[in-house]
Amino acid sequence: MRDFIQSLPKVELHVHLEGTLEPELMFQLAERNGVKLPFPDVESVRAAYEFEDLQSFLNLYYNGACVLLEEQDFYDLTRAYLDRVAAENVVHTEMFFDPQTHTERGVPFDTVIGGILRACRDAEAAHGMSTGLILCFLRDLSEASAFDTLEAAMPWREHIVAIGLDSAETGHPPEKFARVFEEVHNGGFRVVAHAGEEGPPEYIRQALDILRVERVDHGVQCTGDPELVKRLAASGICLTVCPLANVKLRVFDTMDDHNLPQLLQAGLNITVNSDDPAYFGGYMNANMTAVAEAFDLDRETLRGFTRNAIDAAFIGEDRRRALH
Ligand code: ADE
Ligand code: ZN
């Protein structure tokens, strides 16, 4: 099964570039930029990756991102991720980035996106893969900060395939950003949002009804509301599920307890993704392998995840046909 998963051409729709920062690169960039890390070495960073919940992870994740300062840093981060997943036979990936994580520390928006896009172009040429970039607002920051970020993004509009919403979910419902996402739609962007990772089914409803998302990132909490599950199934909207992330962040105690079988049984449009692979113990192959082993999934089901991802990807019809 591992060989089959490796050879399967895969599409990733839910990965945070800042979450691909491996401890080795974190230390390299810290040294290059004279940033002091609160860990003596790579091993102790890895040992610290035991999380209670989403917030306990985010604290480490935002701290790790402090080593990213120069355009070249964002290039190196992105290029390392793309080279790595190209070797796993990922043929298309849509990556989240969180500009506010960097602009709040004084790093200009253009430095962040400039480095990321240069790496995307180089990796596309080197590996024949395709990429897309999704800008996420941090939902624990203010509406005003999201509006500022949107304004900074406008000159880069043609390089951003969608706008999303991430970070600490509980207490920050989608409706908090209703007005910002009106502007996002007016600007012609496509929309996704993290909803129902830890937060209640109501947040998924808000993402659908208020933000008018085209995909729900995570969405696993939908099973708490059978009517919502029916609605999601009927609409065919894609859920970007991240199995290893859900276990690492204690949404489910073990992979055996994950509700993926229930989601599949309900006829939902499911894809499998890595979220923050440097922190959660694996990239696309590891996520696919984990669910295949836990639930004894057959090849057709795994191929189905990829087919769903191709159909839900924000790509032109020519590329979609080529991927199918
Ligand atoms: N940012 C990075 N990873 C995240 C996750 N799993 N949920 C919400 N925000 C995130
Ligand atoms: Zn995520």
Cα separation, 193 vs 195, in Å, equals 6
The secondary element (H helix, E strand) that includes residue 101 is helix 99-103
In a domain, residue 90? The reply is yes
Identify the nearest ligand to the CA of 56 by its number: 1
In a domain, residue 322? The reply is no
The one catalytic residue in 12, 94, 197, 198 is 197
Report residue 69: phi and psi, to 5°. Answer: -125, -40
Which pLDDT score, from 0 to 100, does residue 80 have? 98
Which pLDDT score, from 0 to 100, does residue 23 have? 97
In a domain, residue 320? The reply is no
To test the pocket of ligand 1, the residue of 51, 138, 167 to mutate (highest count of ligand atoms within 8 Å of its CB) is 167
* CATH number of the domain enclosing 268: 3.20.20.140
Domain that holds residue 96: 2-313
Please identify every residue whose CB atom is under 5 Å from ligand 2, which is an ion: 275
> In the numeric block, which tokens belong to residue 251?
């949404």
Which pLDDT score, from 0 to 100, does residue 211 have? 98
Is 197 a catalytic site residue?
yes
CA distances, 251 to each of 106, 188, 224, 240 (Å): 34, 34, 13, 15
**What are the per-10-residue average pLDDT scores of the chain (324 residues)?**
96 98 98 96 95 96 97 98 98 98 98 98 98 98 98 98 98 98 98 98 98 98 98 98 98 98 98 98 97 98 98 98 98
Distance 258 CA to ligand 1 centre (A): 18
Contact 221, 199 (CB under 8 A): yes
In a domain, residue 120? The reply is yes
In a domain, residue 321? The reply is no
In a domain, residue 35? The reply is yes
In a domain, residue 318? The reply is no
Which pLDDT score, from 0 to 100, does residue 219 have? 98
| ipTM score | 0.98
In a domain, residue 19? The reply is yes
Residue 45 backbone class (left: φ over 0; alpha: ψ -120 to 50; beta: rest): alpha
Report the number of distinct structural domains present in the chain. Answer: 1
Which pLDDT score, from 0 to 100, does residue 231 have? 98
* β-bridge mates for residue 192, sequence order: 215
